[in-house]
Amino acid sequence: MNFELSEEQLMIQQAARDFANHECLPGVIERDEKMLFPKEQVLKLAGLGFMGMMVNEKYGGAGLDTLSYVIAMEEIAKVDASTAVCMSVNNSLVCWGLEAYGTEEQKQQYLVPLAQGKKDNELYIGAFLLSEPEAGSDATSQHTTAEDMGDYYLVNGTKNWITNGSSASVYFVMAQTDRSKGSKGINALIIEKGLPGITVGPKENKMGIRGSDTHSIQFTDVKVPKANRIGKEGFGFKFAMQVLNGGRIGIAAQALGIAAGAYERSVNYANERKTFGKPIINHQAIQFKLADMATRVEASRLLIYKAALDKDTNKDYTISSAMAKVFASETAMWAATEAVQIHGGYGYVKEYHVERMMRDAKITQIYEGTSEVQRIVIGRSLAK
Ligand code: CAA
């Protein structure tokens, strides 16, 4: 077993770290306050090849492994979790899903610009539309319909909590075609945002990751060509689950970034801040907190690297990705809360960043499968 990163992975880590500190850090507080989508940052990430990291170079991607991707995700999320989730959705849910299951025509038409994050020099990213007002954790309970009209599907319904909802050019939409078949009657469709009948709802005013644009999307009699279905008829739910297995590794890395960022800021602060005549790091109460944070951050990182390696070596990564996500997201929430405590009053104001990290951390326990859903996935495998 080798715990060393390759030279290439170390270079990616450094590039991501530099990018986060020079391009994401300035303005991160303002984007959070004003709910501004980090368009400039995402366009620059695209220029670095970070929007299609795992996509084969022949489709415009960077041709890297999953481990390189999670290393980069951690660094971006340490500084700016809103930019990181945009990157994660495009890489894991959109690009990976299309490369794994799309037709050659779909790849040429959609994957090439999605992997580059740009088309005609304009932002070109995707979104993943599974959740609905009444289908969150209970994802098989789809109410959006894709009626088979012969050579096209007629799509009607509403999707909720869509990351990249207004900035995406392409939506991957799960919709029910044959209700009698349950989850096997669901199709995954590539729908261009510009089609008639699509309405993007207002931006959600969220607790955290306020820079990321989260919207509901409504479909009214939207005509989608059959050629835009991903995989065989009825493959949509399996597609969503398979794609989410990888997505959960990306969100675990986002959570790791938040936890590690909160930890690093706390170590720096504890070395500088003095109480009772000495830096607070010399108080055992603070040392114990930092020791636990260091341990849980490292344990999260190892679980995430293990899940990434399972994926890269073609092993089943359903369980390892669920374990990585539940552990890293719970670590992020806990570590960010401890970071605020260590910072005291300073932790409660915006300039010190950790209050934002605490708000950002919460969503990692909710999206791409709640902590409870991850435990269902792990627990069911034990019952088998
Ligand atoms: N990997 C592969 N296949 C899976 C799977 C997984 N993780 N989970 C389920 N499946 C398969 C099952 O094997 C089953 O297939 P068969 O019928 O062939 O056996 C099929 O999918 C249906 O599964 P279940 O019978 O287990 O379905 P269920 O109704 O009991 O629900 C669930 C299972 C695990 C709870 C699932 O609904 C789930 O994962 N829910 C959470 C959904 C989710 O993660 N949503 C995130 C939204 S996207 C998002 O957040 C993106 C963003 O913007 C950041």
Q: What is the residue with the minimal CA distance to atom 21 of ligand 1?
A: 238
- Shortest-distance atom of ligand 1 to CA 184: 17
Q: What is the residue with the minimal CA distance to atom 44 of ligand 1?
A: 369
The reported pLDDT for the residue numbered 192 is 98
The reported pLDDT for the residue numbered 384 is 66
- Mean pLDDT of all residues belonging to the chain: 97
Q: In sequence order, which residues have a C-beta less than 8 Å from that of residue 16 and are 6 or more positions away? A: 50, 71, 72, 74, 75, 76
The reported pLDDT for the residue numbered 26 is 97
Query: 357, 197, 130, 330: which is closest to 265 by C-alpha?
Result: 357
118 pLDDT more than 70:
yes
Structure confidence by residue, pLDDT tens digits, 275-324: 999 999 999 999 999 999 999 999 999 999 999 999 999 999 999 999 99
Structure confidence by residue, pLDDT tens digits, 39-80: 999 999 999 999 999 999 999 999 999 999 999 999 999 999
- Shortest-distance atom of ligand 1 to CA 141: 29
If you measure from the C-alpha of residue 139 to the centroid of ligand 1, how many angstroms do you get, rounded to a whole number? 7
Q: What is the residue with the minimal CA distance to atom 3 of ligand 1?
A: 241
Query: 233, 215, 134, 231: which is closest to 176 by C-alpha?
Result: 233
Q: What is the residue with the minimal CA distance to atom 53 of ligand 1?
A: 163
- pLDDT, mean of residues 325-341: 98
Instruction: Give 1's pLDDT tier (boundaries 50, 70, 90).
Output: confident
- Shortest-distance atom of ligand 1 to CA 140: 29
Structure confidence by residue, pLDDT tens digits, 214-227: 999 999 999 999 99
The reported pLDDT for the residue numbered 29 is 98
204 pLDDT more than 80:
yes
Helical residues (DSSP H) of 49-80, grouped into ranges: 66-79
- pLDDT, mean of residues 2-24: 97
Catalytic annotation present for 134: no
Could you say which of 57, 355, 368, 372 is catalytic? 368
Give residue 19's Cα distance to chain centre. 18
Probe residue for ligand 1, chosen from 95, 183, 203 as the CB with the greatest number of ligand atoms within 8 Å: 183
383 pLDDT more than 90:
no
Longest dimension (CA), the chain: 78
If you measure from the C-alpha of residue 160 to the centroid of ligand 1, how many angstroms do you get, rounded to a whole number? 17
- Shortest-distance atom of ligand 1 to CA 376: 34
Q: What is the residue with the minimal CA distance to atom 7 of ligand 1?
A: 241
If you measure from the C-alpha of residue 242 to the centroid of ligand 1, how many angstroms do you get, rounded to a whole number? 8
- Shortest-distance atom of ligand 1 to CA 214: 53
Q: CB within 6 Å of ligand 1 — which residues?
A: 85, 89, 128, 130-131, 137, 139-140, 163, 183, 237-238, 241-242, 244-245, 318, 367-369, 373, 376-377
**Beta-strand (E) ranges in 164-235?**
170-176, 186-192, 198-200, 214-225, 229-230
